[in-house]
Amino acid sequence: MALPARPSPTPVLAAIDVGTNAVRLELARPDAEGSLETLHQERDPIRPGEGVFTTGEMPPETADRLLSTLRRYAALCRRHKAQVRAVATSALREARNQQDIVRRVHEEAGLELEVVSGKEEARLICLGVLHRKPANTRSLLVDIGGGSTEVAIATGEKPDELWSLSLGSVRLTEVFDTARAVTPKQLRLMRSFVEETLHKTLPEKLPALPRVALGSSGTIGAVVGFAAAENGGNATVRQLTQTVEALAKMPPERRRKRFDPRRADIIVSGAVILEGVARHLGVESVSVVNRGLRDGLLVDLLYRQDETREDHSLADAAIVMGQRFRFDEKHARQVARLSLALFDGLASLHQLPLSVRPHLEVAALLHDIGTAVSYERHHRHTYYLIHNADIPGLADREREIIARVARYHRRSPPELSHSGMAGLTPSEARRVRKLATLLRLANALDHSHHQPIRDFKVTDGREAVTLHLHARQPLDLELWNVEREVASFRKVFGKRLAIQVHSTGR
Protein backbone atom coordinates (compact mmCIF):
# COMPACT_ATOMS: atom_id res chain seq x y z
CA MET A 1 0.00 0.00 0.00
CA ALA A 2 1.44 3.34 -1.04
CA LEU A 3 2.05 5.86 1.67
CA PRO A 4 0.19 9.17 1.33
CA ALA A 5 2.30 11.96 -0.11
CA ARG A 6 3.69 14.35 2.43
CA PRO A 7 2.37 17.88 2.08
CA SER A 8 5.02 20.20 0.78
CA PRO A 9 6.39 22.49 3.50
CA THR A 10 4.88 25.95 3.63
CA PRO A 11 7.42 28.39 2.20
CA VAL A 12 8.95 31.12 4.30
CA LEU A 13 8.43 34.62 2.90
CA ALA A 14 10.92 37.45 3.49
CA ALA A 15 10.40 41.20 3.14
CA ILE A 16 13.34 43.60 3.14
CA ASP A 17 12.61 47.33 3.26
CA VAL A 18 15.46 49.78 2.64
CA GLY A 19 13.88 52.99 3.87
CA THR A 20 15.25 56.45 4.52
CA ASN A 21 15.51 56.06 8.31
CA ALA A 22 16.21 52.36 8.67
CA VAL A 23 16.52 48.95 7.00
CA ARG A 24 14.06 46.27 8.08
CA LEU A 25 13.66 42.53 7.61
CA GLU A 26 10.65 40.37 8.37
CA LEU A 27 10.36 36.63 7.89
CA ALA A 28 6.88 35.11 7.94
CA ARG A 29 5.07 31.88 7.09
CA PRO A 30 1.49 31.70 5.78
CA ASP A 31 -0.91 29.50 7.74
CA ALA A 32 -3.82 27.42 6.46
CA GLU A 33 -6.21 30.40 6.71
CA GLY A 34 -4.01 32.68 4.64
CA SER A 35 -2.76 34.73 7.59
CA LEU A 36 0.95 35.41 8.06
CA GLU A 37 2.82 34.21 11.14
CA THR A 38 5.91 36.30 11.90
CA LEU A 39 9.02 34.20 12.45
CA HIS A 40 11.69 36.87 12.81
CA GLN A 41 12.10 40.65 12.62
CA GLU A 42 15.12 42.95 12.49
CA ARG A 43 15.50 46.71 12.29
CA ASP A 44 18.77 48.56 11.78
CA PRO A 45 18.53 52.37 12.12
CA ILE A 46 21.47 53.07 9.80
CA ARG A 47 19.70 56.07 8.18
CA PRO A 48 20.30 55.13 4.48
CA GLY A 49 18.87 58.47 3.34
CA GLU A 50 21.14 60.66 5.44
CA GLY A 51 22.46 63.43 3.21
CA VAL A 52 20.80 62.15 0.02
CA PHE A 53 18.18 64.91 -0.16
CA THR A 54 20.78 67.69 0.10
CA THR A 55 23.73 66.16 -1.80
CA GLY A 56 21.90 63.89 -4.24
CA GLU A 57 24.10 60.87 -3.41
CA MET A 58 24.36 58.15 -0.79
CA PRO A 59 27.79 58.65 0.86
CA PRO A 60 30.28 55.73 0.60
CA GLU A 61 30.24 55.11 4.37
CA THR A 62 26.42 54.88 4.35
CA ALA A 63 26.51 52.51 1.38
CA ASP A 64 29.01 50.32 3.24
CA ARG A 65 26.72 50.19 6.30
CA LEU A 66 23.82 49.28 4.05
CA LEU A 67 25.77 46.48 2.33
CA SER A 68 26.89 45.07 5.67
CA THR A 69 23.28 44.98 6.89
CA LEU A 70 21.94 43.43 3.68
CA ARG A 71 24.61 40.72 3.66
CA ARG A 72 23.42 39.68 7.11
CA TYR A 73 19.76 39.76 6.05
CA ALA A 74 20.55 37.70 2.95
CA ALA A 75 22.27 35.05 5.08
CA LEU A 76 19.17 34.81 7.30
CA CYS A 77 16.94 34.46 4.25
CA ARG A 78 19.13 31.69 2.82
CA ARG A 79 19.11 29.88 6.16
CA HIS A 80 15.29 29.82 6.08
CA LYS A 81 15.19 29.10 2.31
CA ALA A 82 12.90 32.10 2.05
CA GLN A 83 11.30 33.66 -1.00
CA VAL A 84 12.51 37.26 -0.86
CA ARG A 85 11.32 40.60 -2.11
CA ALA A 86 13.70 43.45 -1.27
CA VAL A 87 12.74 47.03 -2.06
CA ALA A 88 14.25 50.48 -1.62
CA THR A 89 12.16 53.63 -1.41
CA SER A 90 12.64 57.39 -1.75
CA ALA A 91 16.27 57.75 -0.59
CA LEU A 92 17.62 55.35 -3.20
CA ARG A 93 15.05 56.56 -5.76
CA GLU A 94 16.74 59.95 -5.69
CA ALA A 95 20.38 58.92 -5.23
CA ARG A 96 22.53 59.51 -8.33
CA ASN A 97 24.62 56.46 -7.42
CA GLN A 98 21.52 54.24 -7.23
CA GLN A 99 22.66 51.83 -9.96
CA ASP A 100 26.06 51.34 -8.39
CA ILE A 101 24.50 50.47 -5.02
CA VAL A 102 21.95 48.09 -6.58
CA ARG A 103 24.82 46.38 -8.43
CA ARG A 104 26.84 46.03 -5.22
CA VAL A 105 23.84 44.58 -3.38
CA HIS A 106 23.47 41.96 -6.11
CA GLU A 107 27.17 41.11 -6.22
CA GLU A 108 27.97 41.24 -2.48
CA ALA A 109 24.69 40.16 -0.85
CA GLY A 110 23.11 38.10 -3.62
CA LEU A 111 19.88 40.09 -3.39
CA GLU A 112 17.87 41.69 -6.18
CA LEU A 113 17.16 45.11 -4.68
CA GLU A 114 14.20 46.73 -6.41
CA VAL A 115 13.97 50.53 -6.31
CA VAL A 116 10.19 50.97 -6.32
CA SER A 117 8.29 53.99 -7.56
CA GLY A 118 6.29 56.15 -5.17
CA LYS A 119 3.00 54.70 -6.43
CA GLU A 120 4.21 51.12 -6.02
CA GLU A 121 5.32 51.98 -2.48
CA ALA A 122 1.85 53.40 -1.79
CA ARG A 123 0.20 50.28 -3.26
CA LEU A 124 2.29 47.95 -1.09
CA ILE A 125 1.59 49.98 2.06
CA CYS A 126 -2.10 49.91 1.19
CA LEU A 127 -1.99 46.13 0.72
CA GLY A 128 -0.19 45.63 4.02
CA VAL A 129 -2.48 47.84 6.08
CA LEU A 130 -5.77 46.77 4.50
CA HIS A 131 -5.13 43.05 3.93
CA ARG A 132 -8.39 41.10 4.36
CA LYS A 133 -10.40 44.27 4.88
CA PRO A 134 -14.11 43.77 4.01
CA ALA A 135 -14.62 44.36 0.29
CA ASN A 136 -17.03 47.31 0.68
CA THR A 137 -15.06 49.20 3.36
CA ARG A 138 -13.72 52.62 2.31
CA SER A 139 -10.37 53.63 3.79
CA LEU A 140 -8.04 56.61 3.68
CA LEU A 141 -4.41 55.78 4.37
CA VAL A 142 -1.42 58.04 5.13
CA ASP A 143 2.19 56.92 5.57
CA ILE A 144 5.01 59.37 6.37
CA GLY A 145 8.46 58.06 5.60
CA GLY A 146 11.83 59.71 5.75
CA GLY A 147 11.78 60.93 2.16
CA SER A 148 8.19 60.71 0.97
CA THR A 149 4.60 60.60 2.13
CA GLU A 150 2.14 58.18 0.57
CA VAL A 151 -1.62 58.74 0.49
CA ALA A 152 -4.13 56.12 -0.67
CA ILE A 153 -7.89 55.88 -1.01
CA ALA A 154 -9.07 52.27 -1.07
CA THR A 155 -12.13 50.05 -1.18
CA GLY A 156 -11.52 46.84 0.72
CA GLU A 157 -7.82 46.19 0.21
CA LYS A 158 -7.84 47.50 -3.37
CA PRO A 159 -6.51 51.05 -3.89
CA ASP A 160 -8.71 53.42 -5.89
CA GLU A 161 -6.25 56.34 -5.88
CA LEU A 162 -2.55 56.49 -4.99
CA TRP A 163 -0.29 59.49 -4.47
CA SER A 164 3.35 59.84 -3.48
CA LEU A 165 4.49 63.25 -2.25
CA SER A 166 8.06 64.51 -1.93
CA LEU A 167 7.52 65.18 1.76
CA GLY A 168 9.37 63.18 4.38
CA SER A 169 10.54 63.70 7.94
CA VAL A 170 14.25 63.32 7.10
CA ARG A 171 13.95 65.35 3.88
CA LEU A 172 12.18 68.26 5.63
CA THR A 173 14.61 68.18 8.56
CA GLU A 174 17.63 68.36 6.25
CA VAL A 175 16.18 71.03 3.97
CA PHE A 176 15.19 73.34 6.86
CA ASP A 177 17.98 72.30 9.26
CA THR A 178 15.63 71.59 12.16
CA ALA A 179 17.29 68.58 13.80
CA ARG A 180 17.91 70.64 16.91
CA ALA A 181 16.21 73.94 17.77
CA VAL A 182 13.25 75.09 15.64
CA THR A 183 12.64 78.84 15.40
CA PRO A 184 9.17 80.32 14.74
CA LYS A 185 10.40 81.40 11.30
CA GLN A 186 11.57 77.89 10.44
CA LEU A 187 8.22 76.49 11.56
CA ARG A 188 6.32 78.96 9.34
CA LEU A 189 8.50 78.08 6.36
CA MET A 190 8.04 74.35 6.92
CA ARG A 191 4.27 74.67 7.16
CA SER A 192 4.16 76.79 4.00
CA PHE A 193 6.36 74.31 2.14
CA VAL A 194 4.14 71.38 3.16
CA GLU A 195 0.97 73.23 2.19
CA GLU A 196 2.39 74.22 -1.20
CA THR A 197 3.52 70.66 -1.95
CA LEU A 198 0.13 69.26 -1.00
CA HIS A 199 -1.68 71.70 -3.29
CA LYS A 200 0.66 70.82 -6.18
CA THR A 201 0.40 67.04 -5.75
CA LEU A 202 -3.09 66.24 -4.50
CA PRO A 203 -6.14 67.17 -6.61
CA GLU A 204 -8.23 70.12 -5.48
CA LYS A 205 -11.41 68.06 -5.45
CA LEU A 206 -11.28 64.67 -3.78
CA PRO A 207 -14.15 62.17 -3.48
CA ALA A 208 -16.01 61.87 -0.19
CA LEU A 209 -13.45 60.53 2.28
CA PRO A 210 -13.67 58.68 5.60
CA ARG A 211 -13.52 61.06 8.55
CA VAL A 212 -10.68 59.12 10.17
CA ALA A 213 -7.40 58.57 8.32
CA LEU A 214 -5.28 55.50 9.05
CA GLY A 215 -1.65 56.35 9.79
CA SER A 216 0.78 53.50 9.25
CA SER A 217 4.34 54.67 9.91
CA GLY A 218 6.54 54.87 12.99
CA THR A 219 6.65 58.66 12.66
CA ILE A 220 2.86 58.88 12.71
CA GLY A 221 2.74 56.50 15.67
CA ALA A 222 5.15 58.70 17.63
CA VAL A 223 3.35 61.96 16.77
CA VAL A 224 -0.14 60.61 17.49
CA GLY A 225 1.10 58.93 20.67
CA PHE A 226 2.37 62.31 21.90
CA ALA A 227 -0.73 64.19 20.72
CA ALA A 228 -3.28 61.82 22.21
CA ALA A 229 -1.58 60.35 25.24
CA GLU A 230 -4.91 59.99 27.06
CA ASN A 231 -7.02 58.34 24.36
CA GLY A 232 -4.49 56.00 22.74
CA GLY A 233 -3.98 55.76 19.03
CA ASN A 234 -6.27 58.51 17.77
CA ALA A 235 -5.53 62.25 17.49
CA THR A 236 -7.74 65.06 16.25
CA VAL A 237 -6.46 67.73 13.87
CA ARG A 238 -6.60 70.26 16.72
CA GLN A 239 -4.41 67.98 18.84
CA LEU A 240 -1.95 67.62 15.95
CA THR A 241 -1.67 71.42 15.66
CA GLN A 242 -1.04 71.71 19.40
CA THR A 243 1.57 68.97 19.10
CA VAL A 244 3.44 70.79 16.33
CA GLU A 245 3.62 73.93 18.47
CA ALA A 246 4.70 72.01 21.56
CA LEU A 247 7.39 69.98 19.81
CA ALA A 248 8.81 73.03 18.02
CA LYS A 249 9.18 74.87 21.37
CA MET A 250 10.63 71.83 23.13
CA PRO A 251 14.44 71.95 23.63
CA PRO A 252 16.30 69.24 21.68
CA GLU A 253 17.48 67.52 24.85
CA ARG A 254 13.89 67.15 26.08
CA ARG A 255 12.81 65.73 22.72
CA ARG A 256 15.59 63.15 23.02
CA LYS A 257 14.33 62.12 26.45
CA ARG A 258 10.74 61.81 25.18
CA PHE A 259 11.57 59.98 21.93
CA ASP A 260 14.20 57.64 20.57
CA PRO A 261 17.26 59.88 19.84
CA ARG A 262 17.13 59.40 16.06
CA ARG A 263 13.37 59.88 16.01
CA ALA A 264 13.72 63.01 18.14
CA ASP A 265 15.76 64.75 15.44
CA ILE A 266 13.00 64.40 12.83
CA ILE A 267 9.83 64.39 14.95
CA VAL A 268 8.99 68.08 14.40
CA SER A 269 9.10 67.64 10.63
CA GLY A 270 6.95 64.52 10.87
CA ALA A 271 4.39 66.35 12.97
CA VAL A 272 4.25 69.30 10.54
CA ILE A 273 3.67 66.94 7.61
CA LEU A 274 0.94 64.98 9.42
CA GLU A 275 -0.83 68.18 10.48
CA GLY A 276 -0.70 69.52 6.91
CA VAL A 277 -1.93 66.30 5.30
CA ALA A 278 -4.78 65.91 7.81
CA ARG A 279 -5.93 69.50 7.24
CA HIS A 280 -5.66 69.24 3.45
CA LEU A 281 -7.68 66.01 3.37
CA GLY A 282 -10.31 67.46 5.70
CA VAL A 283 -10.30 64.54 8.14
CA GLU A 284 -11.37 64.81 11.76
CA SER A 285 -8.63 62.62 13.20
CA VAL A 286 -5.78 60.19 12.52
CA SER A 287 -5.75 56.67 13.91
CA VAL A 288 -2.54 54.61 14.17
CA VAL A 289 -2.21 51.12 12.65
CA ASN A 290 0.79 48.88 13.27
CA ARG A 291 1.23 47.61 9.73
CA GLY A 292 2.93 49.01 6.67
CA LEU A 293 5.30 48.41 3.77
CA ARG A 294 6.85 45.18 5.06
CA ASP A 295 3.43 43.67 5.58
CA GLY A 296 2.49 44.69 2.05
CA LEU A 297 5.60 43.01 0.64
CA LEU A 298 4.70 39.77 2.45
CA VAL A 299 1.08 39.87 1.27
CA ASP A 300 2.26 40.58 -2.27
CA LEU A 301 4.57 37.53 -2.12
CA LEU A 302 1.67 35.49 -0.72
CA TYR A 303 -0.63 36.53 -3.57
CA ARG A 304 2.01 35.83 -6.22
CA GLN A 305 2.16 32.22 -4.99
CA ASP A 306 -1.58 31.70 -5.33
CA GLU A 307 -2.11 30.81 -8.98
CA THR A 308 -5.88 30.45 -8.44
CA ARG A 309 -6.29 34.04 -7.31
CA GLU A 310 -7.68 36.43 -9.90
CA ASP A 311 -6.29 39.93 -9.59
CA HIS A 312 -7.41 42.51 -12.12
CA SER A 313 -5.48 45.42 -10.60
CA LEU A 314 -2.71 45.32 -13.23
CA ALA A 315 -5.19 45.27 -16.11
CA ASP A 316 -7.14 48.11 -14.49
CA ALA A 317 -3.94 50.16 -14.17
CA ALA A 318 -3.07 49.43 -17.80
CA ILE A 319 -6.50 50.58 -18.98
CA VAL A 320 -6.17 53.82 -17.01
CA MET A 321 -2.79 54.40 -18.65
CA GLY A 322 -4.19 53.58 -22.08
CA GLN A 323 -7.04 56.04 -21.61
CA ARG A 324 -4.50 58.71 -20.73
CA PHE A 325 -2.95 58.17 -24.18
CA ARG A 326 -6.38 57.93 -25.85
CA PHE A 327 -5.89 54.37 -27.04
CA ASP A 328 -8.44 52.42 -29.08
CA GLU A 329 -9.94 50.68 -26.06
CA LYS A 330 -12.17 48.24 -27.98
CA HIS A 331 -9.21 47.04 -30.04
CA ALA A 332 -6.94 46.84 -26.98
CA ARG A 333 -9.45 44.78 -25.01
CA GLN A 334 -10.05 42.46 -27.97
CA VAL A 335 -6.32 41.87 -28.48
CA ALA A 336 -5.95 41.21 -24.75
CA ARG A 337 -8.85 38.75 -24.82
CA LEU A 338 -7.39 36.87 -27.79
CA SER A 339 -3.86 36.92 -26.31
CA LEU A 340 -5.07 35.38 -23.05
CA ALA A 341 -7.11 32.75 -24.92
CA LEU A 342 -3.95 31.77 -26.81
CA PHE A 343 -1.92 31.72 -23.58
CA ASP A 344 -4.47 29.50 -21.82
CA GLY A 345 -5.08 27.19 -24.79
CA LEU A 346 -1.39 26.66 -25.49
CA ALA A 347 -0.15 26.28 -21.89
CA SER A 348 1.40 22.86 -22.55
CA LEU A 349 3.16 24.25 -25.63
CA HIS A 350 4.65 27.47 -24.28
CA GLN A 351 5.25 26.11 -20.73
CA LEU A 352 5.40 29.57 -19.22
CA PRO A 353 4.47 30.14 -15.56
CA LEU A 354 0.95 31.38 -14.88
CA SER A 355 2.48 34.37 -13.10
CA VAL A 356 3.39 35.95 -16.47
CA ARG A 357 -0.20 35.81 -17.78
CA PRO A 358 -1.01 39.30 -16.37
CA HIS A 359 2.16 40.63 -18.03
CA LEU A 360 0.90 39.47 -21.43
CA GLU A 361 -2.45 41.11 -20.69
CA VAL A 362 -0.78 44.45 -19.87
CA ALA A 363 1.38 44.28 -23.01
CA ALA A 364 -1.70 43.53 -25.11
CA LEU A 365 -3.73 46.35 -23.61
CA LEU A 366 -0.94 48.88 -24.14
CA HIS A 367 0.64 47.65 -27.38
CA ASP A 368 -0.60 50.60 -29.45
CA ILE A 369 -0.17 53.52 -27.01
CA GLY A 370 2.89 54.67 -28.97
CA THR A 371 0.52 56.03 -31.63
CA ALA A 372 -0.06 58.93 -29.23
CA VAL A 373 3.46 60.04 -30.17
CA SER A 374 3.43 59.03 -33.84
CA TYR A 375 2.01 56.15 -35.86
CA GLU A 376 5.34 55.72 -37.61
CA ARG A 377 7.46 53.37 -35.48
CA HIS A 378 4.77 53.44 -32.82
CA HIS A 379 5.99 50.06 -31.52
CA ARG A 380 9.21 51.80 -30.44
CA HIS A 381 7.28 54.67 -28.85
CA THR A 382 5.17 52.07 -27.03
CA TYR A 383 8.34 50.53 -25.61
CA TYR A 384 9.57 53.91 -24.38
CA LEU A 385 6.24 54.82 -22.75
CA ILE A 386 5.86 51.51 -20.91
CA HIS A 387 9.55 51.39 -19.96
CA ASN A 388 9.20 54.80 -18.27
CA ALA A 389 5.69 54.29 -16.88
CA ASP A 390 4.70 54.11 -13.23
CA ILE A 391 2.43 51.05 -13.13
CA PRO A 392 1.68 49.98 -9.53
CA GLY A 393 2.12 46.26 -9.03
CA LEU A 394 5.07 45.82 -11.38
CA ALA A 395 8.71 45.48 -10.47
CA ASP A 396 11.14 47.36 -12.73
CA ARG A 397 12.25 44.15 -14.47
CA GLU A 398 8.67 43.00 -15.00
CA ARG A 399 7.84 46.36 -16.59
CA GLU A 400 10.90 46.03 -18.84
CA ILE A 401 9.77 42.58 -20.04
CA ILE A 402 6.26 43.90 -20.73
CA ALA A 403 7.70 46.85 -22.67
CA ARG A 404 9.75 44.47 -24.83
CA VAL A 405 6.76 42.20 -25.51
CA ALA A 406 4.64 45.19 -26.55
CA ARG A 407 7.47 46.59 -28.69
CA TYR A 408 7.52 43.38 -30.75
CA HIS A 409 3.79 43.37 -31.58
CA ARG A 410 4.65 44.45 -35.15
CA ARG A 411 7.48 44.81 -37.66
CA SER A 412 10.64 42.83 -36.76
CA PRO A 413 9.96 39.54 -34.97
CA PRO A 414 11.69 39.01 -31.60
CA GLU A 415 14.75 37.20 -32.93
CA LEU A 416 17.53 36.66 -30.41
CA SER A 417 19.94 38.51 -32.69
CA HIS A 418 17.74 41.63 -32.94
CA SER A 419 19.08 44.76 -31.20
CA GLY A 420 15.84 45.16 -29.21
CA MET A 421 16.57 41.90 -27.38
CA ALA A 422 19.89 43.13 -25.99
CA GLY A 423 20.34 43.04 -22.23
CA LEU A 424 17.94 40.15 -21.58
CA THR A 425 19.00 36.97 -19.82
CA PRO A 426 18.43 33.74 -21.82
CA SER A 427 15.27 32.93 -19.82
CA GLU A 428 13.94 36.48 -20.24
CA ALA A 429 14.62 36.36 -23.98
CA ARG A 430 12.70 33.08 -24.30
CA ARG A 431 9.81 34.59 -22.36
CA VAL A 432 9.72 37.72 -24.53
CA ARG A 433 9.85 35.64 -27.75
CA LYS A 434 6.95 33.42 -26.70
CA LEU A 435 4.72 36.18 -25.31
CA ALA A 436 5.43 38.53 -28.21
CA THR A 437 4.59 35.76 -30.71
CA LEU A 438 1.21 35.23 -29.03
CA LEU A 439 0.60 39.00 -28.99
CA ARG A 440 1.51 39.35 -32.69
CA LEU A 441 -0.98 36.63 -33.57
CA ALA A 442 -3.73 38.18 -31.42
CA ASN A 443 -3.08 41.61 -32.93
CA ALA A 444 -3.29 40.15 -36.45
CA LEU A 445 -6.68 38.65 -35.56
CA ASP A 446 -8.05 42.18 -35.02
CA HIS A 447 -6.01 44.02 -37.63
CA SER A 448 -9.09 45.91 -38.84
CA HIS A 449 -9.80 47.20 -35.30
CA HIS A 450 -13.45 46.19 -35.90
CA GLN A 451 -13.54 43.07 -33.71
CA PRO A 452 -14.90 40.74 -36.42
CA ILE A 453 -14.15 37.62 -34.32
CA ARG A 454 -17.02 36.80 -31.99
CA ASP A 455 -15.81 33.50 -30.55
CA PHE A 456 -12.34 32.03 -30.50
CA LYS A 457 -10.84 28.69 -29.58
CA VAL A 458 -7.37 27.22 -30.00
CA THR A 459 -6.45 23.53 -30.06
CA ASP A 460 -2.93 22.14 -29.78
CA GLY A 461 -2.50 19.09 -31.99
CA ARG A 462 0.50 16.83 -32.45
CA GLU A 463 1.82 18.68 -35.51
CA ALA A 464 -0.27 21.83 -35.74
CA VAL A 465 -2.01 24.47 -33.66
CA THR A 466 -5.49 25.19 -35.01
CA LEU A 467 -7.35 28.46 -34.56
CA HIS A 468 -11.13 28.06 -34.62
CA LEU A 469 -12.60 31.44 -35.53
CA HIS A 470 -16.30 32.31 -35.36
CA ALA A 471 -16.71 35.53 -37.31
CA ARG A 472 -19.54 38.04 -37.53
CA GLN A 473 -18.15 39.57 -40.75
CA PRO A 474 -15.47 38.81 -43.39
CA LEU A 475 -11.94 38.20 -42.09
CA ASP A 476 -9.95 38.89 -45.26
CA LEU A 477 -7.66 41.49 -43.65
CA GLU A 478 -7.19 39.45 -40.46
CA LEU A 479 -6.41 36.21 -42.34
CA TRP A 480 -3.90 37.96 -44.58
CA ASN A 481 -2.07 39.27 -41.51
CA VAL A 482 -2.23 35.93 -39.70
CA GLU A 483 -0.50 34.33 -42.71
CA ARG A 484 2.39 36.74 -42.18
CA GLU A 485 2.85 35.36 -38.65
CA VAL A 486 2.86 31.66 -39.59
CA ALA A 487 6.62 31.36 -40.15
CA SER A 488 7.48 33.23 -36.94
CA PHE A 489 5.03 31.08 -34.94
CA ARG A 490 6.57 27.86 -36.28
CA LYS A 491 10.08 29.11 -35.55
CA VAL A 492 9.23 29.88 -31.90
CA PHE A 493 6.88 26.99 -31.08
CA GLY A 494 7.90 24.34 -33.62
CA LYS A 495 4.40 23.73 -34.98
CA ARG A 496 2.33 24.64 -38.02
CA LEU A 497 -0.52 27.10 -37.65
CA ALA A 498 -3.89 26.11 -39.16
CA ILE A 499 -7.08 28.18 -39.32
CA GLN A 500 -10.74 27.20 -39.44
CA VAL A 501 -13.31 29.96 -40.00
CA HIS A 502 -17.00 29.62 -39.15
CA SER A 503 -19.36 32.44 -40.09
CA THR A 504 -21.93 33.27 -37.42
CA GLY A 505 -23.51 36.32 -39.07
CA ARG A 506 -23.98 39.66 -37.37
Same domain, 241 and 292: yes
Regarding whether 132 and 224 lie in a shared domain, the answer is yes
Q: Does 233 or 387 have the greater pLDDT score?
A: 387
Domain finish residue from 64, 96, 116 = 116
Asked whether 39 and 28 are in contact (CB, 8 A), the reply is yes
Q: Is residue 479 part of a domain?
A: no
Residue 502 maps to a domain: no
Q: Which pLDDT value is given to residue 394?
A: 86
- Checking if the pLDDT of 383 tops 90, the result is yes
Same domain, 152 and 209: yes
| pLDDT tens profile 189-212 | 999 999 999 999 998 788 889 999
Based on the domain organization, do 85 and 149 belong to the same domain? no
**370 and 385 assigned to the same domain:** yes
pLDDT in tens, 403-436: 999 999 999 999 999 999 999 999 999 999 999 9
- pLDDT at position 354 is 84
366 with 329, same domain?
Answer: yes
Confidence at 231, pLDDT banded by 50, 70, 90: low
Do residues 241 and 289 share a domain? yes
Residue 62 is assigned to a structural domain of this protein = yes
pLDDT for the residue 180: 86
Give the pLDDT confidence of 340-366 residue by residue, as tens digits.
999 999 999 999 988 899 999 999 999
- Per-residue pLDDT tens digits for 313-333: 789 889 999 999 999 999 999
CATH code at 347? 1.10.3210.10
How far apart, in whole angstroms, are the C-alpha atoms of residue 165 and residue 172?
Answer: 12
Residue 351 forms part of a structural domain: yes
**25 and 101 assigned to the same domain:** yes
Residue 238's CATH number: 3.30.420.150
Q: Examine the fold and report which residue of 402, 426, 450 is the final residue of a domain before the chain moves on.
A: 450
**Based on the domain organization, do 177 and 201 belong to the same domain?**
yes
Determine the average pLDDT of the residues in 297-312.
79
For 159, 175, 216, 399, 409, the CA distances from 123, given in Å and listed in that order, are 7, 27, 13, 16, 29
On whether both 123 and 161 belong to a single domain, the answer is yes
**Is 290 found in the same domain as 317?**
no
Domain enclosing residue 159, as ranges = 119-297
**Helix (H, G, I), strand (E, B), or coil: what is residue 454?**
strand
Decide: 12 and 83 in contact? Cβ < 8 Å.
yes
Residue 499 resides in a domain? no
CATH number, domain of 90, equals 3.30.420.40
Domain final position from 116, 145, 165: 116
* 302 domain residue, yes or no: no
Contacts 24+ apart (CB under 8 A), 39-46: 39/12, 39/80, 40/76, 40/80, 42/73, 42/76, 44/69, 45/21, 45/262, 46/22
Number of domains in the chain: 3
pLDDT of 2 strictly over 80: no
Residue 326 belongs to a domain: yes
DSSP sequence for 68-135: HHHHHHHHHHHHTT-EEEEEE-HHHHH-TTHHHHHHHIIIII---EEE--HHHHHHHHHHHHHTT--T
Whether residue 182 is found in the same domain as residue 264? yes
For the chain, give the mean pLDDT: 92
